[in-house]
Structure formats: structure tokens, C-alpha cells
Amino acid sequence: SQTIHQWPATLVQPVGSPLSLECTVEGTSNPNLYWYRQAAGRGLQLLFYSVGIGQISSEVPQNLSASRPQDRQFILSSKKLLLSDSGFYLCAWSALITAQYFGPGTRLLVL
């Protein structure tokens, strides 16, 4: 069966510090991968998606970037965090236009 891992679960970072969040998927090949951000009590904002290694599409211009160095690895990064980057970051995978399966998420607080 397929599983999706995200780490860390929680993160507190100072403004201006770098960020690296990692997501890995097991049990499937060539998945579509997604990064979402969710503000407290709000909806899901799609940040990036990838249909293959090295292929990244950005949905929202921002302080973040994404990379897919391996088929089942998706990384979200920032060189300098802003206060507005705080939120709940969710990684998800899907096969074509089927359901998306979310990881447990990372709660990021930028102080």
C-alpha cells in the first residue's frame, strides 16, 4: 500500500532563517506531488505541483520554492522566512486525476 511521509511535524523558526521541508511517498511510481499551505481554520492553498522529476509548477508567486530530486521525493524550501510563511504545510500525492492523499503535515511558526 502507499504511504506518504512528511517531516518535521512542527517547526518554529526565526524570521530570515532558511526552510527545508521534505515529503516522501512509498508504494507508487511516478506520482503527481503537491505542496499546499493552510492558514488556521482556512482552506487549502496550492503552492506547487510536480508531474515528474525536475518538473515543478508554481501556483502562487512567493517566498518559497520546490524541488523534486527523485521520483518520490518533494522538497519545499525558502532562503529567508517571513512572518507570513507561518501555516500548516501539507504534501499530497495522486495518480492522474484521482484522489489526493495527504501527508500528516508540518506546522510552521515563524517568529
Q: Which long-range contacts (CB under 8 A, 24 or more apart) does 47-50 make?
A: 47/76, 48/76, 50/74
Does 27 sit near other proteins (CB under 8 A)?
no
Does 9 sit near other proteins (CB under 8 A)?
no
Residue in 47, 64, 90, 110 binding other proteins, rule: CB under 8 A: 90
Closest listed residue to residue 51, CA positions, set 70, 30, 66, 23:
30
CB-CB contact of 41 with 96 (8 Å): no
Report the residue number, 10 or 17, with the smaller CB distance to other proteins: 10
Does 87 sit near other proteins (CB under 8 A)?
no
**Binding residues for other proteins (CB under 8 A):** 41-44, 46, 49, 90, 94, 97-105
